[in-house]
Structure 1
């Protein structure tokens, strides 16, 4: 399955952040989009609230000009962050009164968020979800659908 350069780069950055412990949903430099954008937080000026899907004036101008940030439009960035935060268990937008996970940096919490974000990243590029392992367990005529070598390729 071929993937775009932007998807490959985004997944690699998220993977590294997850395993290095530098992924944090509440920090705009260390969240999903912050990591995709090289740990910069300038993207937060595209919306008035962290986790919102609504572009503000700055976001609309950038969107209408066709601006891309590491290959992603402002709308796509807000969608990615929203999926990540919802997957982590947040009620959006982020604020003091909305529900959030007890431990936002728990590996299970972050994995759930990454799973949703990566599913969206794949959908944005029109490719199968690279995190979908269900095909490993599909079987026709009780035969193994994929050779172990195919599954284990990195």
Structure 2
């Protein structure tokens, strides 16, 4: 399956963060988009709240100018993060009164969040979800060979 450079880089960064235990949904530098943006929190200035899908003034300016951050537009980054957070079990936007997972850094929680984010990343590039096991394990039935000789 052919993937784009931005998707390859994002998947590699997310994979590394997951396996190095440096993925944290509540930290702007260690969340899905924080990792995609090289562990910086500069992307958080594109909206007024972590998990928000609304660009603020700074975000709208960058979007209007066609700026991209590691290949992704400001609005795409916000959507990637929202998918990740929803997959982890958060009610958006992040707020101390909103629902959140009991253990946000549990591997099972992070895996669900990453699966949601990766599905969205693949959809952005118009390719099949690389996490879809049915695609990975797809097979066709082989005809059963007929016995060549009897007896």
Structure-to-structure mapping, 1:73-88, within 5 angstroms: 73-88=73-88
The answer for the alignment partner of 1:96 in structure 2 is 96
Residue 136 of structure 1 and its aligned partner are, at CA, apart by: 4.6
Residue 134 of structure 1 and its aligned partner are, at CA, apart by: 1.2
Deviation digits for residues 63-93 of structure 1, max 9, x if unmatched? 0000000000000000000000000000000
Q: Distance in 2 between matches of 1:65 and 1:137?
A: 42
Structure-to-structure mapping, 1:5-154, within 5 angstroms: 5-138=5-138, 140=140, 142-143=141-142
SS at match of 1:87: helix
SS at match of 2:62: helix
Q: Distance in 1 between matches of 2:38 and 2:14?
A: 10
The size of the alignment, in residue pairs, is 143
SS at match of 1:13: helix
Deviation digits for residues 26-85 of structure 1, max 9, x if unmatched? 000000000000000010000001001000000000000000000000000000000000
In angstroms, what is the RMSD of aligned CA positions? Answer: 1.3
Q: TM-score, normalised by structure 1?
A: 0.89
* Runs of 4+ off more than 6 Å: none
Q: Which has the larger Rg?
A: 2
Query: Which consecutive unaligned segments of at least 5 residues does structure 1 have?
Result: 145-154
